[in-house]
A and B are shown apart, each in its own frame.
Chain A
Amino acid sequence: MWIERKALAAEIPAAAALDTRQLCELLAALGFPVDGVASREGTEVVDVDITANRGDAMSHRGMAREVAAKLQQPLAPVAPPSVHEGAPRVPVRLESPACPLYATALLSLGKGTTPLEAQAFLRALESSPKCLPAVDASNELLHRYGHPTHAFDADRIQGAVSVRWAKAGETLVTLDGVTRSLAAQDLVIADEAGPIALAGVMGGEGTKVTETTRRVLLESAWFDPKTVRATARRHNLHTDASHRFGRGADPGMAVVARDLLVDRLQTWAGATLEGAWTAGSLPAPDASVLLPEAMFMRVAGEPLTLAEASGILRRLGCEVTVKAGALIVQPPTWRHDLTIPDDLAEEVLRLRGYEHIPSVLPALEGPPRPLAAGYLQRQALARRLAHLGFHQTVTYGFISPEADAAFAAQDNAPEGRTLANPLGQEYSVMRGTLLSSLRATAEQNLRQGAREVRLFEVAPTYTSGPEGPTERYTLGLAWGGTLGGEDYLSPARPVREADLVGMALDLGLTSRPEVRSLGEGLFGFELPVSDLPQAGARIIPTFRPFSRFPAVERDLSLLVDLGQSHEALAAAMRAAVPGDTLQDLRCVDVFRHKSLPEGRQAWLMRLRFQADRTLVGGEVDEWMASALAAAESLGAKLRA
């Protein structure tokens, strides 16, 4: 909200002595940070950020009250010439408790227009003057005092005025030219022909003040905040008035604002007052609040006296009764946000300044809790992969239905994971897979000239269920491009599926992962993080002895069928060697060439024997022969 320096100083003269920086710091310390400063119409304006709970501060007067309370300086009085009330010239019926108070006046307009000063004031606040005194004066009063008012063209109103709930099927063309279909929860101001304004939100086109308007009927009322908020939201119509009524206007200002508006119309437009009257009465004041001393001290963190607290609360306009160990506080009519003792404690600390709050580390009241195993597992996994050369990615949790369908499980129906109001179709499904996101990221990196991409993400994936989607942390990994070849000792080769399998097994996966081709020489796999082993409860596992005798390594070059399963062959060979002396057995080289018999390939199998004694050549020969025989039983042949 824009605040004009001179207008602020008109309400709180002491503010004139502050320079802009001091004013900004003062407002920020009160909870109203300044977003910007500008020069307009030969004056300085500051853009003040006002939190949603402080409708009372949404005016120059509101800001001035805060500054005055902080500086402990007096406010300029608001003293409109008192308007003598008489009998209603137009009957006003209040038919809903959502409008307990409605002040009005009927005036004939004379000659004259909005003074240049008032026009400049409005322009400085980025509000354009209409040069219709009734409209501009209402607008000016809103910015200055925060109370929204409205002027109707009295000659276009038919019969009595009522404030009532809209009836089904009623419509209203609002000032913005939009035809609004009204709901039974919309509070309207109506004449005998129908609604003429959305109460507290916007006036109607049919009764608006124009250049030809001769007589005006004013409205300065108080509307229930919840009702105004609901109507503003229902019609997506957020106005200066709805912001203020919706946050809770000051009922005490209804009559005052009417009087101020009458005064301006008389001064600016030579208007003649034909009558002023008020329907209804002030709504019941908000309940008083008890502030116990102990609670107050707890929040403040230091022994503040109730006397100091009551002084501060009085400066804010509260009526305070001091009792033994507590204050009874009646908030002012403009502060609807002070409803519990905590609110009052905040006010005292706020006015004293948060900089006075002491700084204390809270003592532990019980033993600290450990970090959860699942959290530690994910953290360790990410660190390990990063050290293995992988880059951790963070991608959106929602993807397109096509990207989801490419890798998500068949039985994971996307309908259960689809957003009702996505940013767009490409962000509409809570993903059942990480691979699509990783693929897109990998492709992007390759396009950017990366030789090799190594990516992983640890994030939830979603599975549709009857109660809604369930989430589980998933590891997704993508790897592709050219491995090595970046220095004179490492030959270059493409990344292969086998590299990913090896990585998964090394992470502790007990079975081979399903490695998916992601295209462009990219491969990926994903698995629930819970499939990977967690760190055991034992810090160091039980000792298992190992042999200190020399190991014997022997190679066996075998001709095997091209379709031979390595796992089956290795298992058969292992089974042929008694005990656990065969510590390792693996294929270390594969040779495929047309010089070999058709349908055959050569595998160089390396066997490593070790025992708790020195092995003799003869027994190793024997085991080798057994292993060979086992291999031969599967159709392998010793390669000559």
Chain B
Amino acid sequence: MDHLLPVEILEAGHAFPQALAACGDLDALLRLKGAYVGREGSHAARLMELLKGAPKEQKRDLGAAINALKQQWEEGLKARQAELEAAKKNLNALASSWDPSLPPPVPARGALHPLNRLMDRLVEVFRPLGFHVEEGPEIETEAHNFDGLNIPEDHPAKASSDTFYLAAHPELLLRTHTSPVQVRTLLRVAPSLERHGGIRFLAPGRVYRKDEIDPTHSPMFHQVEGMLVGHDIGMQHLKGTLEYALRALFGPHTEIRLRPSYFPFVEPGCEVDVSCPLCDAKGCRVCKGSGWVEILGAGLLHPNVLRYAGIDPEEWSGWAFGMGVERMAMMLSQTPDLRLFFENDQRFLKAMGGLD
């Protein structure tokens, strides 16, 4: 019977389900309703006019076809209307009955790892003083890890009981400190040192020592190395820089204390304490009542370290420091067990690392 209907009406009929599905709200549905079954100018109205003017013998069939079409449209519109009304009602219900005491949707929130966050912070602290970041590989040569740092050939740290070595490459090891980055960087910049007016950088990174895993030991941990090379650099510059940086880190009232110590790659060498940031140096469990906590080791570069890189120690001098990141993180957070930092429980990370 469809052959009795005009082509445009048939096309409209085909398009109907699409158009119906595309109606996202009641307004759109009303417009669609007007176009298909409205009193005037709609497809249905045109069909009724067609029926009026049809020859008598066709009226019965045509009427049936028109009715089927109209019925399909009206049912479709009615069902879609019910759907949209229900959706709107539900939305209205939620909107009108909004209970502000109900927990709202909260965007997901992750966290940086506390160790990375602390290292980032250290970089930020030193940045205004002109320090940039240098990095080096974790798998290092003996030369960079030991020899270039004035560590004697028979030093116990070289033993396989202290340092991890690679089976297929006996000359390669897992760096035991971030200090080989000093050696690499000095070797690289030595020819252009004068042009650049020396160098100053931090080297944050992961290091490895052959320690069994327990609450205070880990075979992998993090260090931040700092180094400065310039003209006429002395202990006063080490002290000045660390005083600035540690105050920026722990607060303006922080005091620092240098104590003599020994590391093969520096001379003079020192340990640096800060006034306990947890008790304002009044004495607490963390500082064991002393008011001071040890924070890093440092010193003026040993002339052999400069010489190894081809830098004349008569002309250039500098200082370096090395800081244990876990140690500082544990101290600041009073985390009782180092292993928590490598367990990566999301609750720990969220609480300790957080976001910037």
Contact = CB atoms under 8 A, between A and B. Distances in A.
Nearest to B199: A369
Interface in A555-605: 555-557, 604
B219 to A, nearest CB: 6
Interface in A439-485: 441, 444-445, 448, 450, 453-455, 459-460, 462, 464, 467-469, 471
Contact of A365 (B21, B198, B235): B198
Contact of A51 (B110, B262, B267): B262
Interface string B90-103: 00001000000011
A430 interface: yes
Contacts of B165: 419-421
A289 to B, nearest CB: 12
Size category, B interface: 35 or more
A395 B196 contact: no
A570 to B, nearest CB: 19
A167 interface: no
Contact of B167 (A30, A359, A420): A420
B111 A371 contact: no
B349 A299 contact: no
B3 interface: no
A546 interface: no
B139 A471 contact: yes
Contact of B239 (A357, A366, A417): A357
A368 interface: yes
A367 B198 CA distance: 10
Contacts of B300: 299, 342
Interface residues of A, number: 100
A358 B240 CA distance: 8
B56 interface: no
B108 interface: yes
A489 B98 CA distance: 11
Contacts of B216: none
Nearest to A302: B236
Given A368-B130, A383-B356, A394-B341, A301 B235 contact: yes
A42 interface: no
A391 B110 contact: yes
A98 to B, nearest CB: 14
B112 A360 contact: no
A606 to B, nearest CB: 10
Interface in B226-283: 228, 230-237, 239-241, 243-244, 257-262, 267-271
Given A419-B164, A420-B165, A554-B22, A382 B260 contact: no
B314 to A, nearest CB: 8
Given A51-B261, A419-B166, A455-B344, A365 B231 contact: yes
Given A346-B260, A396-B342, A360 B166 contact: no
A430 to B, nearest CB: 7
B169 A364 contact: no
A421 B267 contact: no
A454 B344 CA distance: 11
Contacts of A233: 154, 156, 159
Contacts of B168: 415-416, 418, 464, 468
Interface stretch (B63-71, B79-87, B205-213): B205-213
A423 interface: yes
Given A340-B303, A361-B237, A365-B197, A420 B350 contact: no
B235 A230 contact: no
A301 B236 contact: yes
Contacts of A342: 267-268, 300, 302-303
B345 A226 contact: no
A230 B133 CA distance: 39
B192 to A, nearest CB: 10
B285 interface: no
A182 B243 CA distance: 53
Contacts of B239: 301, 357-360
B189 to A, nearest CB: 10
B353 A392 contact: yes
A469 B139 contact: yes
Given A382-B112, A392-B353, A298 B232 contact: yes
A415 B137 CA distance: 19
Contacts of A33: 259, 271
B107 interface: yes
A444 B343 contact: yes
Contacts of A379: 120
Contacts of B240: 358-362
A502 interface: no
A360 B236 contact: yes
B30 interface: no
Given A28-B259, A394-B341, A469-B139, A354 B270 contact: yes
Interface in A401-423: 415-423
B237 A362 contact: yes
Nearest to B262: A51
A366 B228 CA distance: 12
Given A342-B300, A359-B240, A441 B344 contact: yes
B333 interface: no
A387 B21 contact: no
B260 A358 contact: no
Given A51-B261, A382-B112, A450-B346, A420 B170 contact: yes
Contact of B154 (A226, A366, A415, A604): A226
A65 B178 CA distance: 36
Interface string B330-356: 000000000001111111011001011
Interface in A331-390: 340, 342-343, 345-346, 349-350, 354-355, 357-362, 364-372, 375, 379, 382-383, 385-390
A623 interface: no
B154 A230 contact: yes
A354 B167 contact: no
Contacts of A369: 130, 132, 196, 199, 201
B147 interface: no
A53 B262 contact: yes
B110 A52 contact: no
Contact of B345 (A362, A382, A445): A445
B113 interface: yes
Contacts of A390: 110
Nearest to B107: A389
B261 A31 contact: yes
A75 to B, nearest CB: 21
Closest 8 CB pairs of A and B: A366-B197, A389-B108, A301-B236, A31-B260, A365-B197, A346-B268, A368-B130, A51-B262
14 contacts: A301-B236, A340-B303, A355-B257, A361-B237, A368-B200, A369-B130, A372-B132, A379-B120, A387-B110, A396-B220, A427-B219, A444-B343, A468-B139, A469-B139
Given A299-B235, A430-B166, 6 more contacts: A383-B112, A398-B219, A421-B165, A468-B172, A486-B106, A640-B14
Interface of A: 28-31, 33, 51-54, 226, 229-230, 233, 298-302, 340, 342-343, 345-346, 349-350, 354-355, 357-362, 364-372, 375, 379, 382-383, 385-398, 415-423, 427, 430, 441, 444-445, 448, 450, 453-455, 459-460, 462, 464, 467-469, 471, 486-490, 554-557, 604, 638-640
